[in-house]
Amino acid sequence: MKRLLQSVLLLILIVAVRPVQAQHQLGNSRISGDFGFNGMYYIPDSLIGADEVDSKVRANAFLNLLYSNGGFSAGVRYEYYQFPLIDFEKINYQGQGVRYFFADYKNDFIQVTGGNFYEQFGNGLALRAYEDRQLGIDNSLLGARVKLTPYKGIYITGVWGIERLNFESYIGRKDYVRGIDGELNFGEMFPKLTEKGFQLNVGGSFVSKFERSTDDYSVFLHPGTDSAAIANIPAKKIPQNTPVWATRLSFGYKGFRLDGEFAQKMQDPNISNDFIYRKGNALFLSATYSMKGLGVAASFIRADNMDFRSQRMMNLNSNLSINNIPAINRQYSYQLISNYSYASQPNSQIGVQLQVNYQIPKKSKIGGKYGTDLTFNFSRFHNIENAWTPEALNNGIMTGTEGYTSGFFKFGPDLLYQDIGFEFHRRLTKKWELTLAYNYLIYNLEILQGHMGTMHGHLVAADLLWKVAPKHALRLELQHLYSKDDEGSSVYGLLEYSISPHWFFSVGDNWNYGNPDKGHRLHYYNIAAAYVWRTTRIALNFGKTKEGILCIGGVCRAVPASYGMGLSITTSF
Amino acid sequence: MKKLILIAAALVISATLWAQEPVMEKNLAKLPAVTIQTLDGQSFNTQDIQNDGKPIIVSLWATWCRPCIAELIAIADEYEDWVEETGVKLYAVSIDDAKTSARVAPFVNGKGWEYTVLLDVNSDFKRAMNVNDVPFMCILNGKGEIVWQHTSYAPGSEDEVYEIIKQLSKEQ
* B6 domain residue, yes or no: no
- Domain assignment present for B116: yes
- Domain CATH code at residue B127: 3.40.30.10
Above 80 in pLDDT, residue B49?
Answer: yes
Position B12 in a domain: no
Q: Is 80 exceeded by the pLDDT of residue A255?
A: yes
A299: chain B residues, CB-CB within 8 Å: 102
Residue in B with minimal Cα distance to A189: B42
Residue A548 has what pLDDT? Answer: 82
Q: Residue A215's pLDDT band (boundaries 50, 70, 90)?
A: low
Amino acid at position A105, single letter = Y
User: Distance (Å, rounded) from C-alpha A266 to C-alpha A362?
Assistant: 53
Cis peptide before A501 (omega within 30 of 0): yes
C-alpha span between A41 and A264 (Å, rounded): 47
- Spell out where A164-240 has E strands: 176-185, 198-210
User: CB B110 to CB A286 under 8 A?
Assistant: no
Cβ of residue A300 closer than 8 Å to a chain B Cβ: no
Lowest mean pLDDT among A139-148, A543-552, B39-48, B142-151: A543-552
CA–CA–CA angle A193, A196, A200 (5° rounding): 40
Domain span including residue B29: 25-170
| Tally of CB atoms within 10 A around B145 | 14
Q: Which residues does A226 contact at the CB level (< 8 Å), separation at least 6?
A: none
- Which of A23-27, A127-131, A515-519 is predicted least confidently? A23-27
Tell me, what's the pLDDT at A364?
A: 87
Least confident span in A213-227, B9-23, B107-121, B126-140: B9-23
Mean of pLDDT over chain A:
90
Position B1 pLDDT exceeds 60:
no
* The model's pTM: 0.89
pLDDT tens for each residue of A443-491? 999 999 888 899 999 999 999 999 999 999 999 999 999 999 999 999 9
Closest partner residue to A536 among B2, B18, B159, by Cβ?
Answer: B18
CB contact burial A322-357 (16+ within 10 A = b; e otherwise): bbbbbbbbbbbebbbbbbbbbbbbbbbbbbbbebbb
Establish if B14 belongs to a structural domain. no
The closest CB to that of B130, out of A24, A130, A572, belongs to A572
In this prediction, residue A539 has a pLDDT band, given cuts at 50, 70 and 90, of: very high
Residue contact B110–A290, C-beta within 8 A: yes
In terms of residues, how long is chain A? 573
Q: Which of B3, B112, B123 sits opposite A292 (nearest CB)?
A: B112
> Does residue A26 have a pLDDT over 80?
no
* Mutation site for A-interface testing, chosen from B37, B65, B130, B133 by largest number of A Cβ within 10 Å: B130
Cβ–Cβ below 8 Å for A373 and B110:
yes
Q: What is the mean pLDDT of residues A272-283?
A: 94
**Smallest Cα distance from A435 to chain B, Å:** 11
A443 inside 8 A of chain B by CB: no
CB contact under 8 A, B112 and A362: yes
pLDDT of residue A261: 97
Cβ-defined contact of B132 to A36 (cutoff 8 Å): yes
Residue type at position A268: D
Please tell me the predicted confidence (pLDDT) of residue A550: 76
Pick from B30, B60, B100, B101 the residue to mutate for testing the A interface (most A CBs within 10 Å).
Answer: B100
Mean of the pLDDT values across residues A344-359? Answer: 95
Angle among Cα A429, A432, A434 to the nearest 5 degrees reads: 110
> CB A464: neighbour CB atoms within 10 A?
15
d(CA A199, CA A188): 9
pLDDT higher than 80, residue B32: yes
| Over residues B73-88, mean pLDDT | 93
Taking 90 as the threshold, does the pLDDT of residue A384 lie above it? yes
Query: How large is the average pLDDT for residues A17-39?
Result: 71
- The answer to whether the CB of A439 falls within 8 A of the CB of A456 is no
Of the two residues A275 and A230, the one the predictor is more confident about is A275
pLDDT the model gives residue B86: 95
Contact A473 B154 (CB under 8 A): yes
Residue A117 pLDDT:
96
CA geometry: angle at B42 spanning B41 and B43, to 5°? 120
Number of structural domains (chain B) is 1
DSSP string covering B42-90, please? -EEEGGG---TTS-EEEEEE-TT-HHHHHHHHHHHHHHHHHHHHH--EE
Which of A5-9, A166-170, A300-304, A440-444 is the least confident region?
Answer: A5-9
In contact, A491 and A508? CB cutoff 8 Å: no
Distances (CA, A) of A256 to A222, A241, A564: 48, 40, 50
Which amino acid makes up residue A162? I
Using the predicted structure, report yes or no on whether residue B17 has a pLDDT greater than 70: no
A413-429 pLDDT, tens digit each: 999 999 999 999 999 99
Q: Kindly report the length of chain B.
A: 172
User: What was the pLDDT predicted at B102?
Assistant: 85
Is A272 in the B-facing interface, judged by CB distances under 8 Å? no
Averaged pLDDT, A554-562? 79
Which residues in chain B have their CB less than 8 angstroms from residue A505's CB?
Answer: none
Q: What is the mean pLDDT of chain B?
A: 85
Minimum mean pLDDT range among A16-30, A84-98, A238-252:
A16-30
Name the pLDDT band for B13 (thresholds 50, 70, 90): low
Task: Label residue A332 by pLDDT band (50, 70, 90).
Answer: confident
Distance from CA of A547 to the nearest CA of B (A): 23
Q: Is A301 on the interface with B (CB under 8 A)?
A: no
Closest by Cβ to B3, choosing from A57, A328, A569: A57
Which of A73, A375, A572 has its CB closest to that of B132? A572
Domain contains B103: yes
Judging contacts by C-beta atoms under 8 Å, the chain B residues touching residue A70 are: none
In a domain, B39, yes or no: yes
| C-alpha–C-alpha distance, residues B162 and B68, integer Å | 17
What is the distance between the alpha carbons of residues B110 and B106, in angstroms, rounded to a whole number?
6
The reply to whether B71 falls in a domain is yes
* φ, ψ of residue A548 in degrees (nearest 5): 180, -155
Percent of chain B with pLDDT over 70: 84
User: Which chain B residues are Cβ-neighbours of A286 within 8 angstroms?
Assistant: 102
CA distance B78 to chain A (A): 10
Per-residue pLDDT, averaged over A207-236, amounts to: 74
Q: Which residue has the higher pLDDT, B57 or A47?
A: B57
B7 band by pLDDT with thresholds 50, 70 and 90: low
Residues A523, B41: Cα–Cα separation, whole Å:
48
What are the residues facing A119 on neighbouring strands?
Answer: A129
| Banded model confidence at residue B41, pLDDT cuts 50, 70, 90 | confident
**C-alpha distance from B77 to closest chain A C-alpha (Å):** 7
pLDDT at position B64: 86
Residue-level pLDDT at A2: 47
pLDDT digits over A353-369, tens only?
999 999 999 888 888 88
Please, which pLDDT band fits residue A118 given cuts at 50, 70 and 90? very high
* Candidate from A1-10, A366-375, B79-88, B131-140 with smallest mean pLDDT: A1-10
Q: What is the DSSP string of A483-502?
A: ESSTT--EEEEEEEEEETTT
| Predicted local confidence at residue A25, as pLDDT | 56
> Which of A265, A276, A209 lies closest to A236 in space, CA to CA?
A276
Whether residue B20 is predicted with pLDDT greater than 90 in this model: the reply is: no
In whole angstroms, give the CA distance from residue A73 to residue A67: 5
Half-sphere exposure of A453 (CA within 13 A, CB side): 11
Q: In the prediction, which pLDDT does A127 show?
A: 97
Report which of A71, A80, A75, A70 is spatially closest to residue A12, judged by C-alpha positions: A80
Q: In this predicted structure, what is the pLDDT of residue A217? A: 65
The pLDDT value given to residue A227: 67
**Pairing state of beta strands A490-499 and A536-545?**
unpaired
- Convert the pLDDT of each residue in A505-538 to its tens digit: 999 999 999 999 999 999 999 999 999 998 999 9
Residues 65-124 of A with CB under 8 A from B: 66, 68, 71, 73, 80, 82-83, 106, 118-120, 122-124
Q: Is residue B10 part of a domain?
A: no
